Structure 1
């Protein structure tokens, strides 16, 4: 559906953004003669749309490490009625943080490892999307027992901060900043995060390569249904 947000035109799958779906439906009913739907500016809408269409991990790449921007973005998602968490609990998110998204059966496809020693189609999209869900939960989530739940949140945050291969430095920094902004952390917890966060400046470029190599340089692997393929491997 073509819709103008602020001064920019977009072609949007409205089924993914309930608020805009309701907005267009109301406008169409109220003014059947309308041929163009126009909505006022929505803060960080381009970033929010990229997250909906391509995966929430892209939000980390689009923004700086200014926590205020993430508050704005999460409020925009809330305004648009985008269900970031669904039925996911912190336990579900912790599980998703640790798994690898491998669309191809690497053994059956016999895909050789690339020159960096990483499988060609092996990446961490599920984990990186889960990192944004964790951030959203920290910023806007409601907890029945904030003291008890903060322990689980801390465990998830520490995992993100410590995994320099799976999560880019901006992701690690902003997830920690969000946690320390929402919860009261002990000296022991801060020391634990400090130890996990340590990395040398020399490794920052390598971390960036690790983050983009599995998605940007090789692009998204094509969908392929091996169950319908009769060829020999």
Structure 2
């Protein structure tokens, strides 16, 4: 019996090139843990489910299995459903900057929306726009990107704590993943300064988050001695002195940044203080290959 025009054969399996509409959510096993995933929130999983259905391995009722584990998928899935303000709460209390690097890289790989639609031209927005712009339900004026996404510089945290945590994570994501060439180092510094001055927006078990934001900032921006003194003052006053290991690391980074700062001072360009983004591509260095089917 020949297959109908609406079906095709692929490796001995018949499948329809136009399968039924995908369900709103599916249960999928990532590694050893089963998750309920809303497909529209995580496009990579939606593409994976679509391919499994095309191949006839998924009908809509069974639990799918993803062969390889995905770092921090439980955290990402929860935050994709309930909001980015839950990122810091769901991450372990002892999490360091390397873990947030992995988290942000995984979110980008899964195509999870972190920044609002229309904020792709970060350099233009961060340096300030001459005209207002409508993005979604919000109207962006000539304020900087940091002022819009994190806090209102004139009102000092007018938003609730949950919204502040969401905006802080967006800033961390920008520092770790986005190209900030053209951004104003002063605007970035003001954002970190406000976070160190307001650690109360985080839970008491996650007081290390402001320090992580500062490390991410110093990873991308060469800071001046005056800026470092201000950040040290706020950090010690609000969070107490850092441990000896982190203090030694900061001393080493200070020496290196001073040398680079001397060279940058000769150029006199603010953009020379910005370092390029560095993504580790952990999925391939660890020998794990993921397939994305459009």
Task: Out of 71-80 and 49-58, give the one that drifted further.
Answer: 49-58
Alignment match, 2:179: 142
Find 1:37's aligned residue among 64, 68, 74: 64
Shift of 1:165: 2.8
Q: Cα deviations across residues 95-144 of structure 1 (Å, max 9, x unaligned)?
A: 3422544xxxxxxxxxxxxxxxxxxxxx3111110000000000001123
Q: Which runs of 5+ in 2 are unaligned?
A: 1-25, 120-124, 127-143, 152-156, 241-294
Q: Secondary structure at the match of 1:144?
A: coil
Kindly indicate whether the alpha-carbon contact (under 8 Å) linking 1:65 and 1:174 is maintained by their aligned counterparts in 2. Answer: no
Task: Out of 79-88 and 89-98, give the one that drifted further.
Answer: 89-98
Alignment match, 1:199: 237
Shift of 1:93: 4.2
Segments of 4+ moved more than 4 angstroms: none
Mapped to 2, the partners of 1:96 and 1:78 lie a distance apart of 19
Shift of 1:65: 4.1
Alignment match, 1:161: 196
Q: Secondary structure at the match of 2:201?
A: coil
Q: Cα deviations across residues 20-48 of structure 1 (Å, max 9, x unaligned)?
A: 11110111111255533211210111121
Q: Which has the higher helix share?
A: 1
Kindly indicate whether the alpha-carbon contact (under 8 Å) linking 1:100 and 1:125 is maintained by their aligned counterparts in 2. Answer: no
Q: Cα deviations across residues 154-194 of structure 1 (Å, max 9, x unaligned)?
A: 11111111113334522211111111122211111111111
Mapped to 2, the partners of 1:15 and 1:33 lie a distance apart of 18
Find 1:94's aligned residue among 135, 144, 147: 147
**TM-score, with normalisation over the residues of structure 2?**
0.56
Q: Residues 50 and 100 of structure 1: is their aligned pair in 2 closer, same or farther, counting only changes over 3 Å?
A: farther
Q: Secondary structure at the match of 1:3?
A: strand
**TM-score, with normalisation over the residues of structure 1?**
0.69
Query: Pairwise mapping of residues 6-45 of structure 1 onto structure 2 (< 5 A)?
Result: 6-32=31-57, 35-39=62-66, 40-45=68-73
Mapped to 2, the partners of 1:200 and 1:163 lie a distance apart of 8
Shift of 1:200: 5.9
Mapped to 1, the partners of 2:85 and 2:230 lie a distance apart of 25
User: Would you say how many aligned residue pairs link Structure 1 and Structure 2?
Assistant: 179
Shift of 1:19: 0.7
Mapped to 2, the partners of 1:33 and 1:179 lie a distance apart of 44
Q: In the alignment, is residue 188 of structure 1 matched against residue 198 of structure 2?
A: no
Mapped to 2, the partners of 1:186 and 1:50 lie a distance apart of 39
Mapped to 2, the partners of 1:201 and 1:156 lie a distance apart of 17
What CA RMSD, in Å, does the superposition of the two structures yield over aligned residues? 2.2
Q: In the alignment, is residue 49 of structure 1 matched against residue 77 of structure 2?
A: yes
Q: In the alignment, is residue 73 of structure 1 matched against residue 111 of structure 2?
A: no
